[in-house]
Each structure stands twice: as C-alpha cells, then as structure tokens.
Amino acid sequence: MQIFGVDIGGSGIKGAPVDLDKGDLAQERCKVLTPHPATPDGVADGVKQVVDHFGWTGPVGLTFPGVVAGGATVLTAANVDKSWIDTDARALFSGRLGGLPVVVLNDADAAGVAEMEFGAGRDRKGTVILLTFGTGIGSAVFVDGVLVPNTELGHLELGGHDAEKRASSKAKEDHELSWEHWAQRVQKYLAHVEMLFSPELFIIGGGVSRKADKFLHFLDGIRAEIVPAQLQNNAGIVGAAMRAAQLA
C-alpha cells in the first residue's frame, strides 16, 4: 500500500509516496525550500508543488513544526510565521490540493510514529523519547508504544533560553560550534529531559542522525540508551503517510 507523506520543516518541504509495507519511500523524495516568511499560503503553495510533482491523487499526510490539535488546527508556530496560529491546516491544505483528504500532525510525532513501527523504537517498551535536531528541537514521547502527542520538549528552558536556541542543529551552525562543543550542549539538554521523564531510550532524529558518528560518542553522561534514528530524515514523511493511511 502506498500513501503520500509530506514533511514541513523550517528550511524545507519534502515529500514522496511511501510504501507502508516496508516503511520506506516508494520513490525518491521531492524537496522545495520553505518560503520566508513561512506563511500559511506560502507553505501551502510549496506543499502543492511537492504533491503535484508526483501527480498524486489520494490521501496526504502532512507534518507541521508545532502543536496540531485534532489533526487540523495549529496552536503554536515557533519556527514558522505566527499567522499559522489558529489556522485550520487540514482545510487549507485540502483546499490547495483540490479537495484531497488530508491529515496534519506534529512533525516530531510523525517521525516518532515511524521509528516506533519501522525503526529504532520497534518492539521497545517503557518510555521512549525521540528528539529531532534541526531548525528547532522536536520531541515525541511514547509509553509502552503509545504516543503522548504534541510534547514540544524543545521549548524546555536550558541556560535561560529555549533549549532549541542552544542545542538545535541550527544553533550549531549559527554559532559555528564544533561537534564536541555542540554535543556538550546536547548532553545538558538530554540530562534535563532524562531528569524529568527517566526514559529507557533516546532516539536522535533529524538531519544530524546521518552524522551520528560525529557526536554520539561525546554523550557519555546519560543513563538511557542513545541511538540514531534508523529512518533518518525520512521518518517524518513515513510517519505522516502512516497517519494518512487511516483516511484511505
């Protein structure tokens, strides 16, 4: 079974049909740059461009970098334009896609759902936390495989700032940090999250998951097991498609 997934991030909008039997992309993904400012209309145009690239006419699952209530309404917008707040994203995207059935969910939740089904969290019980390091820090918390949605742990305070302002991959780039220096910040963040939730497993996702060999060995003060996401940066697309399969 194939369903289309789209992952909307602070820097890019990427999507592809997903083979839900394998938990992998069925075709090479299409990516366009996220517009700046990332307004609802601008992002919807980017989504349409990605979906039209494949001539897709079925259900579409979309991720969003913020809290999404009921598969539709955006409640926060930390890394996109503030005009997203209270937008009915499901209606917006469905309208732009010619009435295709659409579901919208938090981007890290989508990545987490995919990793728990097909990746590093498969068959893992207890508390598992996936963290995506990108433009911000997204989080997905699972208890015995059940998602606690919209946790947004990237906005925990760390050193007097939102944690994602200190420890996201964007912060690494903005401050020109070495992998070791950045890993020190990530370790402080993980220690804070571990103190609050005592997870058995951290899954590190987002673009940095492709470069786990450059920093994971610096994270030596955490009790929980730490592993890179197996689906890497495609996890959001796969998770979005998994959720949209419920519409088929």
- pLDDT at position 78: 87
Query: Which structural domain, as residue segments, surrounds residue 215?
Result: 123-229
DSSP-assigned letters across all residues of the chain? -EEEEEEE-SSEEEEEEEETTTTEESS--EEEEPPSS--HHHHHHHHHHHHHHTT--S-EEEEESS-EETTTEE---SSS-GGGTT-BHHHHHHHHTTT--EEEEEHHHHHHHHHHHHSTTTT--SEEEEEEESSSEEEEEEETTEEE----GGGSEETTEEHHHHHSHHHHHHTT--HHHHHHHHHHHHHHHHHHH--SEEEEESGGGGGGGGTGGG--S-SSEEEE-SSGGGHHHHHHHHHHGGG-
Domain tally, the chain:
2
**Average confidence (pLDDT) over 214-235:** 95
Query: Does position 248 have pLDDT exceeding 80, yes or no?
Result: no
- pLDDT at position 247: 86
pLDDT digits (tens, 9 = 90+) for 34-89: 999 999 999 999 999 999 999 999 999 999 999 999 999 999 998 899 999 999 99
Asked whether residue 225 falls in the same domain as residue 169, the answer is yes
Query: Does position 225 have pLDDT exceeding 90, yes or no?
Result: yes
Query: Does position 18 have pLDDT exceeding 90, yes or no?
Result: yes
pLDDT digits (tens, 9 = 90+) for 183-224: 999 999 999 999 999 999 999 999 899 999 999 999 998 999
Asked whether residue 58 falls in the same domain as residue 141, the answer is no
Asked whether residue 210 falls in the same domain as residue 239, the answer is no
117 in a structural domain: no
Whole-number Cα distances in Å, 11 to 65, 120, 176, 233, 244? 11, 25, 18, 13, 23
Query: Does position 162 have pLDDT exceeding 80, yes or no?
Result: yes
pLDDT digits (tens, 9 = 90+) for 84-136: 999 999 999 999 999 999 999 999 999 999 999 999 999 999 999 999 999 89
- pLDDT at position 207: 87
Asked whether residue 240 falls in the same domain as residue 199, the answer is no
Q: What's this model's pTM, rounded to 2 decimal places? A: 0.94
Residue with the larger pLDDT of the pair 247 and 57: 57
**Average confidence (pLDDT) over 143-158:** 96
116 in a structural domain: no
160 in a structural domain: yes
Neighbours of 187 (CB within 10 A): 18
